[in-house]
Structure 1
């Protein structure tokens, strides 16, 4: 990585379009994995840690892409393009969605593990209430909603960025 005029570049290319691809790929992929865990509780034992790791990396890429985007926006400030401003505004809204999704995934993994233990204990003592199972079901619903919301935001932001870059190309 090189720092040229306060703009982080990788082999001369602004870092933002490169870092953005980590978000565009990893966050929706994490959402798909987390939704699969929510829908198929039997997969939680085997795939919880890889999905949680993918979610952490995807969410961690968001502030990196945002910071590089802010640097690029500052570099392009002279263009006065309202599409860039719209893209930046949408981009600033992603982190709360991503963090909410991460929290929901963590809680699903924890509640799912405790529900599995509760199920094992209930097999021996049927009178044990299934509190963690109920919490895991609620967390499953929240994971689906948060995963879909995060993915929709990524698509909206990506579309606005592509529009800002390609608007007017080939229309002259």
Structure 2
């Protein structure tokens, strides 16, 4: 995918990633910490994580196309390198979302309070917190580098006038 309505697809797709990764991370942490929320969300949690996972390679693929159509700079290369590192985080979100969904579903069916189930839930909660934090920080770093690559020297720090008569 290269262009959508005349715009580089990456510029549009990146908004899905910027919204979906933190949203999935938040939902994952809430469901891992609060089993009642996981039961209420049900299959929505792993489906959300799957949509997030699919959106990452679509966005990076479109970004690779865009990288070939803009001037190369250190900022663009840094952004591309950081962007390539998001897929493992998205995969981690998906795997943990599926695990939290599965363990919540399993524990609701058993109602035993088995010791092994609580150990798995604790491990899933700790891993969910770590992966969610890592994914959100990575999205921030990627977005920051992308904004710098796109806007570095692309605007004036002082107002140059305005089309609506403010300046």
Report the TM-score, using the length of structure 2 for normalisation. 0.88
Aligned partner of 2:105 among 109, 113, 130: 113
**CA shift at 1:116, angstroms?**
2.5
Query: Which one has the bigger helix percentage?
Result: 1
Deviating runs (4+, > 6 A) in structure 1?
Answer: none
Query: 2:91 matched to 1:99?
Result: yes
Query: 2:17 matched to 1:8?
Result: no
Check conservation: 1:94, 1:153, Cα contact below 8 A.
Answer: yes
Q: 1:148 maps to what in 2?
A: 133
Count of aligned pairs between the two proteins: 157
Q: Cα deviations across residues 25-62 of structure 1 (Å, max 9, x unaligned)?
A: 01110111111111211111111321221111111100
Aligned partner of 1:22 among 9, 16, 22: 16
Structure 1: gaps spanning 5 or more residues:
1-6, 123-128
State the SS of the aligned residue for 2:3: strand
State the SS of the aligned residue for 1:169: coil
Q: CA RMSD in A?
A: 1.6
Q: 1:89 maps to what in 2?
A: 81
State the SS of the aligned residue for 1:52: helix
Structure 2: gaps spanning 5 or more residues:
158-167
Residues of 2 paired with 1:66 and 1:170: CA distance? 26
Residues of 2 paired with 1:80 and 1:67: CA distance? 17
